[in-house]
Chain A
Amino acid sequence: EEQLLESGGGLAQPGGSLRLSCAASGFIFSSYAMSWVRQAPGKGLEWVSSINGRDYKTYYADSVKGRFTISRDHSKNTVFLQMKSLRHEDTAIYYCAKGITMTGVAYDYWGQGTLVTVSS
């Protein structure tokens, strides 16, 4: 059974950093794109970033470009999101999601989410 387990969320100050992790199991991790999607309190879904399974090509939303970095470690079946220069508007539940193909963006499995709060 496919599973995604996020960790690393918490409280950060504006301008600070956090690193989110998402441990995957139950599928061939290297064969699928992985992404992060966030949801601010009471708001809709916002795609944050994706990384392909084959060529490690990365994509970012304009709102996080230059501040966030997505990466993956196939030896650990884990995808990461390094977040720097955090802003109040980055406060959200961050979901890890698995693409349906190596480069696909339709997400067929999601983690339970990890809450990131940016506040002084």
Chain B
Amino acid sequence: QSVLTQPPSASGTPGQRVTISCSGSSSNIGSNTVDWYQQLPGTAPKLLIYADNQRPSGVPDRFSGSKSGTSASLAISGLQSEDEADYYCAAWDDSLNGYVFGTGTKVTVL
């Protein structure tokens, strides 16, 4: 059972903005940075956002991350069909002394 909670699903039409939340606690999001991963069907995860709001090279600026207190969010603007995937937040947890992933959110492009 993950300590980071995400909504199981989110959806939008092409061009819309979709936001995914990630709720944690003081031992993880509240005291460490948050990362976000995208996993397309049948493939390995891909790093989308690290250190709360930094994009690795090659990640479109349509993807953005933010954090406030013990919660974080991933926003996808200008939603495209290729964004249909599972999205996971993650953070180090000081109490568990380990890296924890969120429960995952499946994004559907209608």
Interface residues of A (CB under 8 A from B): 35, 37, 44-47, 50, 59-62, 95, 100, 105-108, 110-113
Q: Is B60 an interface residue (CB 8 A)?
A: no
Query: Given B2, B44, B98, which contacts A111 in the complex, CB threshold below 8 Å?
Result: B44
Query: Given B35, B97, B101, which contacts A46 in the complex, CB threshold below 8 Å?
Result: B101
| Residue contact B44 to A106, C-beta cutoff 8 Å | no
Inter-chain CA distance A100–B98, complex, in Å, is 16
Q: Is B100 an interface residue (CB 8 A)?
A: yes
| Residue contact B101 to A44, C-beta cutoff 8 Å | yes
Which single residue of chain A is at the shortest CB-CB distance from B49?
A106
Interfacial residues of chain B within 57-76, with CB under 8 A of chain A in the complex: none
List chain A residues, Cβ under 8 A from B88. Answer: 44-45
Query: Given B2, B35, B97, B104, which contacts A106 in the complex, CB threshold below 8 Å?
Result: B35
| Residue contact B103 to A44, C-beta cutoff 8 Å | yes
Interfacial residues of chain B within 13-58, with CB under 8 A of chain A in the complex: 33, 35, 37, 39, 44-47, 50-51, 56
List chain B residues, Cβ under 8 A from A111. Answer: 44
B95–chain A nearest beta-carbon distance, Å? 11
Contact with A along B69-103 (1 / 0, CB 8 A): 00000000000000000101010100011111111
List chain B residues, Cβ under 8 A from A113. Answer: 44
Which single residue of chain A is at the shortest CB-CB distance from B32?
A105
Q: A44-B2, A59-B98 are in contact. List 19 more A-B contacts (CB 8 A).
A: A35-B99, A37-B45, A37-B101, A44-B88, A44-B104, A45-B37, A45-B39, A45-B101, A47-B90, A47-B99, A47-B101, A59-B97, A59-B99, A95-B45, A105-B90, A105-B92, A106-B50, A107-B47, A113-B44
